Amino acid sequence: MKILVIGTAGREHALAWKLAQSPKATLVYTSVMAAASLEQGGKIKFNPADISTNDKVIAFCQAEAIDLVVIGPEAPLAAGLADALRQVGIKVFGAVKAGAMLESSKEYSKKFMDKYFIPTAAYKSFTDADEALKYIETLTPPIVIKADGLAAGKGVNICLSKENAAKTINDFMVEGVFGGSGSKVVVEEFLEGREASIIAFIDGDTYKTMPVSRDHKRLLDGDLGPNTGGMGVYSPVLDITEEDIDFIREHVFDKAIKGLKAEGVDYCGILYAGIMKGPKGINVLEFNARSGDPETQAILPLLEQDLLELILACVNKNLKDFALSAINKTSVCITLAGRDYPVSGSKGLEITGLDKVQDVLVFHAGTKLENGKTYTNGGRVLSVVALGENLADARQKAYAEIAKINFDGMQYRRDIGEE
């Protein structure tokens, strides 16, 4: 099979890497430049073509006789790429636009959760900044403020004071730091506890969950600094018990599948539930209509089965017959970012030491290859993934190999996976 992976980040490198391991995969096209050069089997091919719109993706698929499209990021899902591919008979793994609304609109997602009795924090939404400011005055911090639309995982601010909340409202709604995505905001109850991510493969009727992971969203050690797209992940998460997972299946995914079907959504893709476990029990913080980044880089190496077979089971609607399991290892993924991330990206700085790393996986995101050398070309530059017998073992391996990698201004968290 010839497969096209949509997206340019570390998540998409990991998807291409895992898909290429399948005997059924003959060629995997990717827009991640470094992925092809690192693939020893010759199955991964860098695709320099412009596939930035639905029509261009379809034209590429038809010209190259693509058998399957796998969509990584949220923006193409929200733009209806899966719908467009389905309409012309091209197999696709990715939520249709109506399903992607669970991520592309925070307000829609909250209303969906309320309608189908999925546990979540109390909230109110606003399109008028003055009304939002008046409401904030009635609250006791911390106050959670979310941009309604897509913001690359950065449109959430936990405000520890009313002053910070007012500034966030101004930044989102008046200054437009996230463009139209912040023209509407959701002001949400703050929930105490520990977060975790549950990622499920769905064929429309059935779902199968991957090992639980825990993302570290803040830029700096100790969960300080601004929100980012994700600075590191570990999996599995031992404080999420089997009893908790049973609860999440019954009260989150079972209800979500039922709700999507009731809304007439044929959902074939990944549904990601960000949950909080704390004094108020287990609640859903957010839904994403795709796999996380860097969660994907951490959990795919744990998948025991063939990823292509798993995706085809979803596309062909026979997921119920697929036995999904994970190897008995712990995975730690650490993001290496540029100096000015998350404000801006890092470009044109040579990355050294990649040829020296051993016994870890390195997935490329913001990189570019020129004349046999690797240079920075984005905010989150690399994901380094180590597998170990336990969390301490995996952390030690990851950080030992990161010490061999260098580029000017490289920053990363030193506390990923600390319990």
Q: What is the pLDDT of residues 36-57, one digit of tens each?
A: 887 767 899 999 999 999 999 9
Tell whether pTM > 0.85.
yes
Instruction: Break the chain into its structural domains and give their ranges.
Output: 2-94, 128-183, 193-321, 330-402
CATH top-level class for 193-321? alpha beta
Per-residue pLDDT at 201? 98
Residue position matching structure tokens 């959504």: 265
Give per-residue pLDDT as tens, 230-267.
999 999 999 999 999 999 999 999 999 999 999 999 99
CATH number of 330-402: 3.90.600.10
CB 331 within 8 A of CB 302: yes
CB 102 within 8 A of CB 272: no
Give per-residue pLDDT as tens, 262-300.
999 999 999 999 999 999 999 999 999 999 999 999 999
Q: Which CATH number fits domain 2-94: 3.40.50.2300, 3.10.20.30, 3.40.50.460, 3.40.50.20?
A: 3.40.50.20
Q: Is the pLDDT score of 155 beyond 90? A: no
| 412 CB burial (10 A radius; 0-12, 13-18, 19+) | buried
Nearest to 68 by CA among 93, 47, 42: 93
**Rg value, the chain, Cα:** 21
CATH top-level class for 128-183? alpha beta
